[in-house]
Amino acid sequence: MSDLTEKHCEPCEGGIAAMDTNRANEQLQKLDQWEIDVNSKKISKQFSFKNFHRTMSFVNAVAWVANQENHHPDIELGYNYCNISLTTHAIDGLSVNDFIVAAKIDVIEKL
C-alpha cells in the first residue's frame, strides 16, 4: 500500500505551481499502472470489468472517495470499462491531490 493512501487532499484554488515532470514521475512510481500524459498535466488509467454492475459499483466507490477527498476525477464509462483521469484544474497540472486520489482508486480496484 502506498503512503499516499494515508494522506488526504488539501484544498487547491490555484496560486501554486503544478508539479514538474520529475516530481510527477516520482509520484507515478507509487501507483499501479497509471500513465502520465505527454505534457505532465494529467494521469490516467483504464479499468476493465466483467459486466455493467461491476463497472457501476466501481464508479460509485470512486465517486465516494472523490467526494470524501473533495478532489474529483474525470470519468468515462461503458458496459465493462471505466477510464479515469486526474488533474488539478485550478493549477492546470498535477498536484499531490491527483496522486492521493489515484492511490485510493487503486485500493478500490483490488476489492
CB 31 within 8 A of CB 102: yes
3-state secondary structure of 40: coil
Beta-carbon contacts of residue 92 (< 8 Å; ≥ 6 apart) = 18, 41
Measure the CA–CA gap between 47 and 63, rounded to whole angstroms: 15
Count of alpha carbons within 13 angstroms of residue 49, beta-carbon side: 20
Whether 26 is covered by a domain: the verdict is no
CATH number for the domain including 102? 3.30.1360.20
* pLDDT confidence of residue 2: 64
pLDDT tens digits for range 29-87: 999 999 999 999 999 999 999 999 999 999 999 999 999 999 999 999 999 999 999 99
- The domain tally of the chain equals 1
First-to-last CA distance in the chain? 13
